């Protein structure tokens, strides 16, 4: 079974495109079938490539973000994906509100905090590197969560 996963942050130019690429790489490494996309809760960067510092930090670890383009979360996403991953609590709350409005009597993907899957992560949210400038720390958290999630999916397969 293929699991369809949507990673979501605020701008869709730093954390969620990074999570998209890392999840894809981790799934390929583990032989787990996934379809991964990412989106933002805001409309601020629609159509834009990921932020340059996120692209270069990811590239140093072997992840290519260059083909990705930002889009906004849409109501259909709740039906078209199996799992929606929020990069932080604010975006989780925005997604839960959207999900409540988007679906009545329709199947809707669960919304989970991405860091729920990161073993031993001390926080709930991936801090926004656009403000923190800690692109390496962002990658460390995203890699840990991706490993945890893909390991769970591998066990279920």
> Binding to ligand 4NP by residue 130, rule CB under 6 A?
yes
The count of residues interacting with ligand 4NP (CB under 6 A) is: 10
Q: How far is the CB of 136 from ligand 4NP (least distance, A)?
A: 15
Catalytic residue among 14, 15, 77, 92: 15
d(CA 136, CA 38): 20
> Binding to ligand 4NP by residue 128, rule CB under 6 A?
yes
d(CA 152, CA 157): 9
d(CA 65, CA 103): 32
Question: Which of 2, 28, 29, 44: binder of ligand 4NP (CB under 6 A)?
Answer: 44
Chain positions 15 to 34 lying near ligand 4NP, rule: CB under 6 A, are 15
> Binding to ligand 4NP by residue 13, rule CB under 6 A?
yes
Q: Token match 């031993």: residue?
A: 120
Could you tell me where the DSSP H helices lie in 37-134?
Answer: 52-60, 77-80, 89-102, 129-132
Nearer to ligand 4NP by Cβ, of 19 and 25: the residue is: 19
d(CA 86, CA 62): 23
C-alpha closest to that of 132 among 88, 71, 70: 88
State yes or no: is 128 an active-site residue.
yes
Question: Which of 7, 11, 36, 144: binder of ligand 4NP (CB under 6 A)?
Answer: 11
State yes or no: is 116 an active-site residue.
no
Nearer to ligand 4NP by Cβ, of 13 and 111: the residue is: 13
Both structure tokens of 29: 């490494």
Say which DSSP state 10 is in. Answer: S
State yes or no: is 14 an active-site residue.
no
Question: Interface with ligand 4NP by CB under 6 A: which residues?
Answer: 9-15, 44, 128, 130
Active site residues: 9, 15, 128
């Amino acid at each position: 079974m293929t699991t369809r996963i949507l990673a979501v942050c605020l701008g869709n130019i730093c954390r969620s495109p990074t999570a998209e690429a890392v999840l894809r790489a981790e799934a390929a490494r583990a032989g787990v079938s996934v379809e991964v996309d990412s989106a933002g809760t805001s409309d601020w960067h629609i159509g834009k490539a990921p932020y340059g510092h996120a692209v270069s930090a990811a590239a140093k670890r072997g992840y290519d973000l260059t083909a990705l383009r930002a889009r906004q979360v849409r109501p259909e996403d709740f039906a078209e994906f199996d799992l929606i991953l929020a990069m932080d609590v604010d975006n989780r709350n925005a997604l839960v509100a959207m999900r409540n409005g988007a679906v009545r009597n329709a199947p809707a993907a669960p919304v989970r905090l991405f860091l729920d899957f990161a073993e031993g992560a001390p926080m709930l949210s991936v801090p926004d590197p656009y403000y923190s400038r800690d692109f390496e720390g962002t990658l460390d958290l995203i890699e840990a969560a991706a490993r945890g999630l893909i390991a769970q999916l591998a066990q279920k397969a």
